[in-house]
Structure 1
Amino acid sequence: MELRTLRYFVAVAEELHFGRAAARLHMSQPPLSRAVKQLETDVGAALLYRSAAGVTLTPAGAALLDEARTLLDQAERVRVRVAVAAGAASLTVGILGDGNDRGAARLAAAYRRRHPGVEVRIRETDLTDPTCGLRAGLVDIALTRGPFDETGLTVRELRADPVGAVLRADDPLARHDHLELADLANRRWFRFPDSTDPLWRTYWNGGEPREGPVVRAVQECVQAVLWNGTVGMAPLGHDLPAELAVVPLTDMAPSRVVVASNEGDANPLLRSFVQIATAAYRE
């Protein structure tokens, strides 16, 4: 029973879908299915009920999931302890400067408890770089939001947040319970510089080219709305001044909170960070 195979099984057990698990593991589905079948042969029991809708855990699968998580956690602790002993005891984390996130606070506390000997350096970036300096080599890992070009990166979704239109509280549209993008068609939007990742820029402009002031930071977005009645989008639940309102947009896909690193980076501190982040954002 190899750790790699257990990692495959845990992905399938958590996603309850071979396709999603394969995407999460950055592999194709057939070898993943074969590995899980071989694991079932090794343990002598069916671990999953398979159907067209996906998979569910058998009692044996649920038992193995608990044990597998424990084993993988122990293996990560060993890797990190070796890395610390070898002098690789620091990690630079890029964070998008889009406000306070309770998930990030839980992650920081959990990481300190797990790895008290690791120095974590934080580099906050503005809204024009959704990879938070990852591509430029300024950070080891990024705690950020999608969508952005994921070429050459390993990206894991932690949470998906509904989004809404940011309006001044005295704006007539702020009295609505919800809005659609069409309701904002003729308004001026805050927007990001043309050099910003196209996927990121398009998402935060609701999929349409917009006219309006160019912004780079959260406070610039806020001030554009306060001073000029500009509109834009933000995740629901963000702390904003009382003079602003956020009205849910029913036809916008949620904003994905993700953790990203460079593909192929074997630093054991990264894998442990992703595991701890996944647990922290699941709470």
Structure 2
Amino acid sequence: MERLEVRELVYFTAVAEELHFGRAAARLGMTQPPLSRAIHQLERRLGVALLERVGRRVALTEAGAVLLRESRTVLNAASAAARRTRRAGRADPRLVLAIKPGGDGGLLPAILDAYQAEPGALPVELVCSFGERETLLREGRADAALLHRPHPDLTGLDTQDLLTETQLLVIPRSHRLADRTRLSLDDLAGEPLPRWPGASEGGSHGPEVHDLGQLLHLIALRRMVAVLPSSIRDQLRHDLVAVPVDDAEPTTLVLAWPEDATSPALAAFVRAAAAVAGNVSAGSPSTCGGT
């Protein structure tokens, strides 16, 4: 079986991203001749051309584009493995959970209490992020994350659905739509919506938002409106109102973790979260909302 060395992938990725041997060599802290030799040797071993060289210009071949995509996956996985290994060897091990402030559907306090009752439970470190929770998880900086479908890419992750909620439009009390009892997405035409970190801009053209306090403050200042899960009602300021949006797709709170994870502490956390979510579902309709 043909084996590629991590060093070869690092070299190739630098050249493929820079499309220039000189810049790639400078990025790697080495001279250009050994880098060129390493890429030639890699091409000979694989039996395919990875780069097209025309004078000083460098371009990826189809095979090179495939190797670049696969190299990034491997290098990211190697970095994540190193981070998880270092964290597992800490003198004070802990479970790191990435969350969006205000984005736990009100379940997190009960989940943390249930988890601490599990044998072998670790202290839970909370990392707050609006738009980078999947990245924290994939990079090995977090053991689990609370995410919301339908937006994130869940490839390579295992998940447990916790709570499905209808969505509301959060607006100032002085807004033109504040007296409505129900809305549709068409009613929001032209309204500035928040831009979430790391997300494509799409139809959102309001300010970028990094935390819940900033979001609610900007809404109160009439800089934007936002469509949010119905559990946000409990966190609204007195100068804001929430109106149901009938045709907004329901959002599902999910607990996500790497699909190859084998941590007993993580497994116990998943069990605790599922039990809390099950108790909530048994006591109320599966889709939360209100009029």
TM over 0.5: yes
1 CA distance for matches of 2:104 and 2:237?
Answer: 14
2 CA distance for matches of 1:219 and 1:192?
Answer: 14
Deviation of residue 244 (structure 1)? 0.6
- Equivalent pairs counted in the alignment come to 187
Deviation of residue 88 (structure 1)? 9.3
Post-superposition Cα deviations, 1:76-101, rounded to whole Å, max 9, x if no partner, equal xxxxxxxx9xx996322222212564
Q: 2:228 aligns with which of 211, 231, 234?
A: 234
Equivalent position of 1:98 in the other structure = 102
2 CA distance for matches of 1:225 and 1:114?
Answer: 40
Deviation of residue 156 (structure 1)? 1.5
2 CA distance for matches of 1:139 and 1:276?
Answer: 18
2 CA distance for matches of 1:99 and 1:270?
Answer: 20
Equivalent position of 1:169 in the other structure = 173
Is 1:247 the counterpart of 2:243 in the alignment? Answer: yes
Contact 1:97-1:217 within 8 A present in 2 as well: yes
1:34-53 alignment runs, 5 A limit = none
1:217-232 alignment runs, 5 A limit = 217-232=211-226
Task: Give RMSD over aligned pairs.
Answer: 2.3
Contact 2:134-2:145 within 8 A present in 1 as well: yes
Secondary structure class of the residue paired with 1:119: coil
Contact 1:89-1:118 within 8 A present in 2 as well: no
Contact 2:191-2:225 within 8 A present in 1 as well: yes
Equivalent position of 1:141 in the other structure = 144
Deviation of residue 167 (structure 1)? 0.4
Equivalent position of 2:208 in the other structure = 214
1:5-84 alignment runs, 5 A limit = none
Equivalent position of 1:158 in the other structure = 162
Secondary structure class of the residue paired with 1:106: helix
Post-superposition Cα deviations, 1:155-184, rounded to whole Å, max 9, x if no partner, equal 121111111111001112111111111000
The two structures have a TM-score, normalised by structure 1, of: 0.60
1 CA distance for matches of 2:168 and 2:106?
Answer: 19
Return closer, same or farther for 1:209/1:100 CA change in 2, 3 Å cut-off.
Answer: closer
Return closer, same or farther for 1:90/1:190 CA change in 2, 3 Å cut-off.
Answer: closer
2 CA distance for matches of 1:236 and 1:254?
Answer: 9
1 CA distance for matches of 2:160 and 2:148?
Answer: 10
Paired letter, 1:267:
S
2 CA distance for matches of 1:132 and 1:107?
Answer: 23
Q: State percent identity of aligned pairs.
A: 25
2 CA distance for matches of 1:100 and 1:143?
Answer: 7
Secondary structure class of the residue paired with 1:220: helix
Q: 1:185 aligns with which of 179, 182, 189?
A: 189
Larger radius of gyration: 2
Contact 1:132-1:144 within 8 A present in 2 as well: no
Structure 1: stretches of 5+ with no match in the other structure: 1-83, 202-207
The two structures have a TM-score, normalised by structure 2, of: 0.59
Structure 2: stretches of 5+ with no match in the other structure: 1-87, 280-291
Deviation of residue 236 (structure 1)? 1.1
1 CA distance for matches of 2:180 and 2:250?
Answer: 20
Deviation of residue 277 (structure 1)? 0.5
Contact 1:124-1:132 within 8 A present in 2 as well: no
Equivalent position of 1:281 in the other structure = 277
2 CA distance for matches of 1:99 and 1:260?
Answer: 14
Deviation of residue 143 (structure 1)? 2.4
2 CA distance for matches of 1:234 and 1:251?
Answer: 13
2 CA distance for matches of 1:101 and 1:232?
Answer: 16
Post-superposition Cα deviations, 1:10-45, rounded to whole Å, max 9, x if no partner, equal xxxxxxxxxxxxxxxxxxxxxxxxxxxxxxxxxxxx
2 CA distance for matches of 1:280 and 1:234?
Answer: 22
Deviation of residue 281 (structure 1)? 1.4
2 CA distance for matches of 1:240 and 1:153?
Answer: 32
Deviation of residue 267 (structure 1)? 1.2
Contact 2:196-2:210 within 8 A present in 1 as well: yes
Contact 1:187-1:230 within 8 A present in 2 as well: yes
Contact 2:170-2:242 within 8 A present in 1 as well: yes
Deviates more, 1:118-127 or 1:219-228: 118-127
Deviation of residue 273 (structure 1)? 1.4
Equivalent position of 2:116 in the other structure = 112
